[in-house]
Amino acid sequence: MATDTIKLEPSWKSRVGDYLLRPEMRALAEFLRSEKAQGKRIYPPGPQIFAALDATPFDATNVVILGQDPYHGPGQAHGLCFSVAPGVDVPPSLLNIFKEIERDLGLPRPKHGYLMPWAQQGVLLLNAVLTVEAGRAGAHQGKGWEGFTDHIVETLDREREGLVFMLWGSYAQAKGKIIDTRRHCVLRAPHPSPLSAHRGFIGCGHFSAANRWLQGRQRALIDWSLPA
């Protein structure tokens, strides 16, 4: 996996690009090539694997939402956690996110699940694992992506000040243990999945809390509404 062949936003490439040269990342690249050679379908499409970094440059990042791995249904994943491509039905977890935004901020629920407008405002929508096999949730866990995305979180924690990290569910919260809570705002809640959202995700108030934190640091607030 050579950095000169990977589409990576320049501010991220200068900070985390070298990680892609590590042996475990080369092994991951070989694994992905082998899977494709066997005819397995991998989501998201290759050019969109690093879409979260491309959409939200390092210095523009103000909020980080950590997901687990991409959606594994046809046409859903496009590289931003919890987001689905235009024209795709809103998945249940994202619907619960919209319900909480409606409850928290009074904003109407969007009719689509394309979260690119959030990313363009500085919300890094980062999955811990950046690829998945079609129809097999979690199929690429433990293949090397976690170390790379840990490195992204560590770099943000170390080089930036006063970020908001939204950690939903035990998986994201475990990944967030490296974050310095004295320097950053860390918001924790159950996962928005229908299996757990009722245990405290609905009612968490994270979206208004994030904007209060940003306002207190004279940063632009996030418009959590989505255009039709």
- Residues designated as active site: 69
Q: Spell out a b/e string for 116-150, using b for 16 or more CB atoms within 10 Å of the CB, else e.
A: bbbbebbbbbbbbbbbbeeeeeebbeebbbbebbe
Spatial distance between the Cα atoms of 130 and 139, rounded to a whole number of angstroms:
11
Long-range contacts of 160-163 (CB under 8 A, 24+ apart): 160/58, 160/61, 162/213, 162/217, 162/219, 163/61, 163/62, 163/63, 163/64
In 3-state terms, what secondary structure has residue 62?
Answer: coil
Alpha carbon distances (Å) from 73 to 24, 43, 58, 81: 27, 8, 29, 14
